[in-house]
Amino acid sequence: MATTYNDMGLVYQAKHDYTEALRQFQQAILTNIPSFRDTLILHNPNLTSNDYINGFHLLTSLQLKAETLEKSCNTSKENLLVAYKTYCSLDTLTWQLLDAHTEETDKLAFTTKSGDIYQSALRLSVRLHRETGEQRYEDKAFYFAERGKAGVLASTLADSKARKFSGIADSLLKSDERLRSEIAEYKQLLAQEYANGQEADSSKLQGYQNELFSAHRTQEKLMAALETHYPRYHQLKYQSSLVTPSQLQSVLDAQTALMEYVVSDSLLQVFVITRKSYQLHSVSLDSLFVRRLSAFRQAILSGDQDLYEQTAYPLYQTLFAHPLPKSIKELILIPEGELTTLPFEALLTSGDVNKKEYLLEKYAISYAYSASLLYERLQQKQTSQEKHLLAMAPVFEDSASNVIMASNRSVLSGLQTEPVAAAEQTGEKRIAMRGQLLDGTYVSPLLASKGEVETIASLFEQKGYKASLYLHQQAGEEKLKAKGMAAYNYIHIATHGFVNGQYPELSGLLFAQDSTSEEDGILYTGEIYNLALQAELVTLSACETGLGKLAKGEGIIGLTRALLYAGAKNVVVSFWKVPDNSTAELMGSFYKALLSGKSKGAALQQAKMKMIANKDYSHPFFWAPFILVGK
């Protein structure tokens, strides 16, 4: 019945008969909640009791009611306020429904719908703030912005934390760990088979799906038992708290600004928070904005200087339409949508084409999935002042180490060598890339990676810190899966990386290919989720490790997200295929600056500035891909 009333309401809404449309939507709500009897449009049900029949139908009814109230608000300001209260009810319902999902894929699918709700709620809050001048509406706008960012990641991290600090018996934790490994394995196998397209084996697909279903059901029963027998686990798992602007201000130093972006079709909302100020700016977007984002990235990769100049400064003018205080030296950026793969550092801050003034030259820049996740990380105390480095580089320099295991060839078949226009313009015609193969059988050597990790290990040892270095065949996947990984607070991996935008489960890192090992020599995304890290910094000195599948409201689903879940506090990853030699130089400079006492963001900034000063590597292609996620 609820869907029938919703459909009827849409018919009246299309006819601009908002009064009758609202009556239909209200009737849909009444049908869904037997205990709710109020036919007045001004009233919404109390959703704390969860006594609705179908939560998803109710979500639709409330969303349609809020949208219709907004459309009719020109004749009644009261409708605008009721629409706001309806979005607040939608917020409660959204998180109830999100928590009801046990599988991450279902949660991610749900965020597509909830993302639209939070964008609308934010827009309305901004409007109410402007019309009333009341600060509570601006604060609520930030709340809705945060609600619409990385909610699934936040809930999975909360679950992980709850399992660690709830006193759960070791035997149950081991059972949970085993189930998570099984689920990751079957997801990966399914993705590999689906990737075969029309040649996929239907019997294998059915078998993997059955095993995955069984593992999920077993895990659900285990989670239900944990929630019942360990009240502390239930409390921590569902303990939801979003950071407020004032809380953020308390952890930001005087030289740092946090900028959170929310993008809609024609409007960019930018929250700017410093230690002393909190502002919300709205910037109109023209129809070319998204096209410029794509063109900017393509200009860097192709070496098209004219296109770069046509996009780099206009994008800066849009994204930094309002000047920041002159005291600001560091930026923490929280992008969304197409902005998540934009290397902000390479934007030009001047329209003068004769002198390139990069944003990098003004600010040390880092990125975050959400302000709330960042705040939680900043609240954590560093577990140890002792620095211990794990550095790995398979190198793949000879026939004994660069032959791809037969079982991996189908996964890696797309990583063929291809021209790199921007690199070729610098005169490097034959350039080794950290994400390419010589053909379908051999891995291209990464000769500079050996010197890279040796240099970094030496820098640590010169400072009196521990460094564990693994090269060639010793750089096996099993090293990262071994017990004791929590002892390393710095992890540096220099190898080939690859990303699968359609199947994130098939993104990974290539390690030593050893047919005698129990491991397959590829550390896939799902396997990273199950690592036990406590690293202050993980650096993936490889290709495209910052990319993945873009999920609305969640950002990039890929290696970065997996590492954060596994326990890494900060991550350095890349946005595109990176050259071997220039990457080695950048990484050496980065760690030298880091170990001299600079912050991670400032150290990466200094390393990139050094690249710009080198005429061979001054093009953004060489230094712009690497970004810091964290602070």
Closest CA to 475 of 429, 519, 444, 439: 519
pLDDT above 70 covers what percent of the chain?
A: 92
Cβ contacts of 261-265, under 8 Å, gap ≥ 24 = 261/319, 261/333, 261/334, 261/335, 261/336, 261/339, 262/119, 262/122, 262/145, 262/148, 262/336, 263/336, 263/337, 263/338, 263/339, 264/119, 264/123
Helix axes 580-595, 600-613, angle to 10 degrees: 130
Q: What is the number of alpha carbons within 13 Å of residue 412 lying toward its C-beta?
A: 30
Largest CA distance in the chain: 77
d(CA 553, CA 550): 9
DSSP three-state, residue 494:
strand
Q: What is the pLDDT of residue 430?
A: 45
Closest CA to 294 of 260, 353, 341, 262: 341
Those residues with Cβ within 8 angstroms of residue 407's Cβ, 6 or more apart along the chain or in another chain? 520
d(CA 326, CA 630): 23
Distances from the Cα of 192 to the Cαs of 47, 189, 369, 496, 554, in angstroms?
42, 5, 28, 19, 24
What the block records as the tokens of 18 is 């908002």
Tokens 């919300």 correspond to what residue?
Answer: 280
Q: What is the pLDDT of residue 412?
A: 67
Residues in the chain: 631
The DSSP 8-state label assigned to residue 382 in this structure reads P
Domains of the chain, residue spans? 2-145, 168-229, 245-373, 385-629
**CATH of the structural domain 245-373, one choice from 3.90.550, 3.30.420, 3.30.2320, 1.10.150:** 3.30.420
d(CA 457, CA 436): 26
Task: Please answer whether residues 43 and 94 qualify as being in contact, where contact means their C-beta atoms are separated by less than 8 angstroms.
Answer: no
How do residues 494-520 score in pLDDT, each as one tens digit? 999 888 888 888 899 999 988 788 888
Low-confidence stretches of the chain (pLDDT < 50) are: 416-419, 427-430
DSSP three-state, residue 272:
strand
The DSSP 8-state label assigned to residue 9 in this structure reads H
pTM: 0.88
Distances from the Cα of 332 to the Cαs of 144, 148, 310, 367, 623, in angstroms?
19, 18, 26, 5, 19
Q: What is the number of alpha carbons within 13 Å of residue 221 lying toward its C-beta?
A: 7
Distances from the Cα of 490 to the Cαs of 41, 567, 623, 628, in angstroms?
57, 12, 21, 14
Task: Please answer whether residues 553 and 319 qualify as being in contact, where contact means their C-beta atoms are separated by less than 8 angstroms.
Answer: no
Buried b or exposed e, range 468-480, using 16+ CB within 10 angstroms: ebbbbbebbbebb
Closest CA to 122 of 141, 94, 135: 141
Amino acid identity at 517? S
The DSSP string of 388-405 is: EEEEEE----STTT-BPP
The topology under which CATH files domain 2-145 is 1.25.40
Residue 552 backbone phi and psi in degrees, to 5:
-60, 130
The topology under which CATH files domain 385-629 is Rossmann fold (3.40.50)
Those residues with Cβ within 8 angstroms of residue 493's Cβ, 6 or more apart along the chain or in another chain? 391, 392, 393, 509, 538, 539, 540, 541, 542
Strand (E) or helix (H) holding 192: helix 170-194
The DSSP string of 116-185 is: HHHHHHHHHHHHHHHHH--HHHHHHHHHHHHHTSSHHHHHHHHHHHHHHSS---HHHHHHHHHHHHHHHH
DSSP three-state, residue 270:
strand
455: how many CB neighbours lie within 10 A of its CB?
A: 17
DSSP three-state, residue 446:
coil
Closest CA to 85 of 126, 42, 47: 42
What's the distance, Cα to Cα, between the start and end of the chain in Å? 51
d(CA 301, CA 146): 32
Fold match flag (245-373 vs 385-629): no
The DSSP 8-state label assigned to residue 293 in this structure reads H
